[in-house]
Amino acid sequence: MVSTVKLSELIRDIDIIKIHGDTSVDVTGIYYDSRKVSQGGLFVAIPGLKHDGHGFIPEVYKRGAIAVVGEKRKENLPDNVPSNLTYIQVKRSRRALAQLANAFYGHPSRNLVLVGITGTNGKTTTSFLLESIFNAWNKKAGVIGTINYRYAGIEEKAPVTTPESLDLQELFARMLKHGVSHVVMEVSSHALDLDRVYGCDFDAAVFTNLSQDHLDYHENLDTYFKCKLKLFCEHLAESLVQQPIAVVNIDDKYGQHIPNEPFYRKITYSLERGADIYPVEWKVDGSGINAVLATPSGKMEIRSPLLGRLNLYNIMAAVGTSVGLGVSTEAIRKGLANISRVSGRLENVPNDLGISVIVDYA
């Protein structure tokens, strides 16, 4: 991780409208929170729902910012913005932040096998399953999601499901430093809409399902789905990975509308024949799930202590992703069997009362 980067290098790939000032300066850090700016910092002014970052430009100058990136024309900035402060006008501040963060941290996702999981339900459990499978495959895995961010024995609190782009790229870089090779990330609709994962080079994208949720943010289900679709039709399309994979639940009516595209390999899963992954036979009871799955690699007998029919879907999503990434059958079976529980997700609570207690969505 570098200590400073020339501003001219950082802005090389962003969509610039106009540059005001010197770009030969050294940048010590990138910030989108005005309160955290320090000497030599580059501040990205983002128009928010409650506050507009452009209004804090005079403050960040006092804190030592040497340049600002923003959407507004320079003549529309606050009157007390110093004339000697370098200002770069861009089309979209959030997208510029993602590109700047990628450049500053050396495009870390290019050195990771990156899996993005999107959908209303099942993201967290599928991420746990893939983590267990990758570990069984002797790969050091990292996970970014609703419960926490974890890697190399380290657990960090998760203030949001998918971090802001700057925080995400810094986290990727930190994971690489700790020897992580595979990262599984829950990708929320908010993250897709706000360009938090813009510039990430995904090896795989997973669609679990879509149902009514977050409609306080999205206008309706169709708008919600279009946002999810970005992970496939934009981010996989722009990934530098050759032939990434798209793993799709086609029992979900919205999953059926994820198109076949030449830039990714599509792997489908369903409870019915006709998909790439489906159960030839299966049993779900209080001890877990036993199934024989048809896969592109042949039939696979699996067992997992996870409970419920919904977790069979999550298992198929994880198996489809793993097969697409070339994971061995032995590692897949071992990883599925080794997973103990997912906190608050159809979680069995042991007790001495002779009754079944299951906690879900806690």
Q: Which domain holds residue 309?
A: 108-332
Residue 203 located in a structural domain: yes
Residue 361 located in a structural domain: no
Q: Are residues 221 and 306 in the same domain?
A: yes
- The rounded distance, in Å, linking the Cα atoms of 79 and 330 is 65
With beta carbons less than 8 A apart as the criterion, state whether 113 and 325 touch: yes
Q: Are residues 180 and 292 in the same domain?
A: yes
Q: Are residues 156 and 223 in the same domain?
A: yes
The CATH number covering residue 127 comes to: 3.40.1190.10
Helical packing angle, 329-338 and 309-324, nearest 10°: 150
In this prediction the pTM is 0.92
Q: pLDDT tens digit string along 29-74? A: 999 999 999 999 999 999 988 899 999 999 999 999 999 999 999 9
Last residue of a domain, one of 104, 119, 145: 104
pLDDT number for residue 148? 97
Q: Are residues 98 and 115 in the same domain?
A: no
Backbone angle region of 141, left / alpha / beta, with phi > 0 → left and psi within -120 to 50 → alpha: beta
pLDDT number for residue 160? 96
Per-residue confidence at 25, pLDDT binned at 50, 70, 90?
very high
Closest Cα partner for 42 from 6, 18, 78?
Answer: 6
Q: Are residues 85 and 112 in the same domain?
A: no
Provide the CA 181 distance to its chain's centre, in angstroms. Answer: 15
Q: Are residues 192 and 239 in the same domain?
A: yes
pLDDT number for residue 52? 96
Per-residue confidence at 206, pLDDT binned at 50, 70, 90?
very high
Q: Are residues 85 and 150 in the same domain?
A: no
How much of the chain exceeds pLDDT 70, in percent?
Answer: 92
Q: Are residues 281 and 156 in the same domain?
A: yes
Q: Are residues 264 and 123 in the same domain?
A: yes
Q: Are residues 92 and 137 in the same domain?
A: no
Q: pLDDT tens digit string along 280-335? A: 999 999 889 999 999 999 999 999 999 999 999 999 999 999 999 999 999 999 99
The CATH number covering residue 42 comes to: 3.40.1390.10
Number of domains in the chain: 2
Residue 66 located in a structural domain: yes
Residue 301 located in a structural domain: yes
Q: pLDDT tens digit string along 90-133? A: 999 999 999 999 999 999 999 999 999 999 999 999 999 999 99
With beta carbons less than 8 A apart as the criterion, state whether 335 and 304 touch: no
CB atoms under 10 Å from CB of 15, counted, come to 11
Residue 340 located in a structural domain: no
Burial (CB count within 10 angstroms: exposed 0-12, middle 13-18, buried 19+), residue 42 = buried
The whole-chain average pLDDT of the chain stands at 94
Last residue of a domain, one of 104, 129, 147: 104
Residue 341 located in a structural domain: no
Residue 261 located in a structural domain: yes
- Kindly report the backbone phi and psi dihedral angles of residue 138, in degrees, each rounded to the nearest multiple of 5, phi listed first: 65, 35
Q: pLDDT tens digit string along 346-358? A: 555 655 565 555 5
Q: Are residues 58 and 144 in the same domain?
A: no
How much of the chain exceeds pLDDT 90, in percent?
Answer: 88
With beta carbons less than 8 A apart as the criterion, state whether 136 and 338 touch: yes
- Is 1's pLDDT higher than 50? no
Per-residue confidence at 194, pLDDT binned at 50, 70, 90?
very high
Tokens of 221: 């289900």
Residue 179 located in a structural domain: yes
With beta carbons less than 8 A apart as the criterion, state whether 202 and 235 touch: yes
Q: Are residues 33 and 152 in the same domain?
A: no
For residues 180-207, give the mean pLDDT.
98
